[in-house]
Structure 1
């Protein structure tokens, strides 16, 4: 039986101290035999709403922090890349390279990531038909010399996709649970529960969010069926420099993950 993918960590590297505090709190996930755990944080958030928003320490200093997490806590690392030139450098530290939602169709970025030894997590764009993310998956697989298709092929070759909601008018996202079923035909699906409750641009020069809906949506995705979950988390989301309004604090995250396992156990008993 495949382990559940769990990706968690602060949105962006605010400081080494903060990242280490979060990683320490997430050790129980690393040690859980049911979970394939990845610590996530970004060295650069290149798609912030405002030019004045905090973006992170940059690739050199950021990767040093993530490498320290990897060594100190024995954790697998996931981080995003935004430019082709970042792929090989980031893959020296990261076990998974994440393709941001707005860049999910960028062929050169996908090809550059595919040429590394890292796994690839492609976030489905808010604008994208869920059927069409299969072409992004194929770009990665074919770059790696794989012509076969299907979820098991993608899983074996370290490619998965993330659902993070679709644009619904201005400043709002909705999750179409049908997309989880559709995308699982050709790749393992990770449900990005915290970005799915974002409200893009709704906070006046930054994104808003409603974190009270994170747990209900995660439970719903569990019922539909997914292969993993993505949660941004923080010691104190109110003080976060990025995505604080949609992040979970550590205690809520731990309770949410346990509720996911309870639902999965119930479904196994039913079916």
Structure 2
């Protein structure tokens, strides 16, 4: 059993039922972000499913220099603070540099280390020293057992509020594959493990100047991951993925989310029985 963590009013790990981390890939604007957060909260309240809202204030690793990155640190944090204050739900976003850590920690409940930066010791240590929950995405280039060293970096800084997220491993060019063995391997470290269902079906750089995706496989991978007994599921969602400004091809339409979550909750209940 993994350690139980508190993220605002949300508790994850320790044998508790599944938690959802979800939101649009990037903050597109204030009204859209609040609208998505409100719809997610309504869906999750109807299912008695704990929710952590996520949206990136900056997507620093976009395929093309012309791609939309988000509103930036200051404006993005202002919007996430509004989500947190007006709806009372915890919020998560990515940090990309040591300079972002302090201001982000004033707003965010969870500091997320992007997969490409999971071995950046100074960034991981700075995030850990805030005392906030640190969600580290496993790099596409790492074996699951290598994440024990990342856990060690966070813990060595005096922080035991650790979440590990699986998001697929590089498999040739422009493709990812998920080894479900990685989930119990990482859970054996004693901290909550989350499966990123939508980034795992991403096709990095697959459209030349942007990433593609295969959202039709999200449900199947999610069902398999939840059956292993994970602590949370991570999904990027959008009211209209066709016009999303980031990761539309692998985002779940909000209208389809309730039915999928009901299936995952049923599998989660069996896995814990």
2:196 aligns to what?
192
The residue number in structure 2 matching 1:90 is 104
User: How far apart in 1 are the matches of 2:27 and 2:271?
Assistant: 37
Pick from 91, 100, 103: which aligns with 2:114? 100
Bigger drift between 13-22 and 257-266 goes to 257-266
Residue number in structure 2 paired with 1:119: 133
> Unaligned stretches of 5+ in structure 2?
1-14
What residue number does 2:210 align with? 206
Q: Does the 8 A contact of 2:166 with 2:195 survive in 1?
A: yes
CA distance in structure 2 between the aligned counterparts of 1:43 and 1:268, rounded to whole angstroms: 35
Contact 2:144 / 2:186 at 8 angstroms: preserved in 1? Answer: yes
Higher normalized contact order (CA 8 Å, seq sep 6+, divided by chain length): 2
Deviation at 1:256?
1.3
The answer as to whether partners of 2:110 and 2:132 remain within 8 angstroms in 1 is: yes
Matches within 5 A, 1:208-227: 208-227=212-231
When the two chains are superposed, the root-mean-square deviation of aligned CA atoms in Å is 1.4
Aligned residues: 258
Q: Which residue of 2 aligns with 1:153?
A: none
Identify the residue that residue 180 of structure 1 maps to in structure 2. 183
Q: 1:26 aligns with which of 40, 48, 55?
A: 40
Q: Paired residue for 1:252, among 228, 253, 256?
A: 256
C-alpha displacement of 1:2: 1.9
User: Match for residue 26 of structure 2?
Assistant: 12
TM-score (norm 2): 0.91
Q: 1:106/1:224 Cα in 2 relative to 1: closer, same or farther (>3 Å)?
A: same
Shift of 1:30: 5.3
**TM-score, scaled relative to structure 1:** 0.92
1:68 aligns with 2:82: yes
Q: How far apart are residue 240 of structure 1 and its match?
A: 0.3
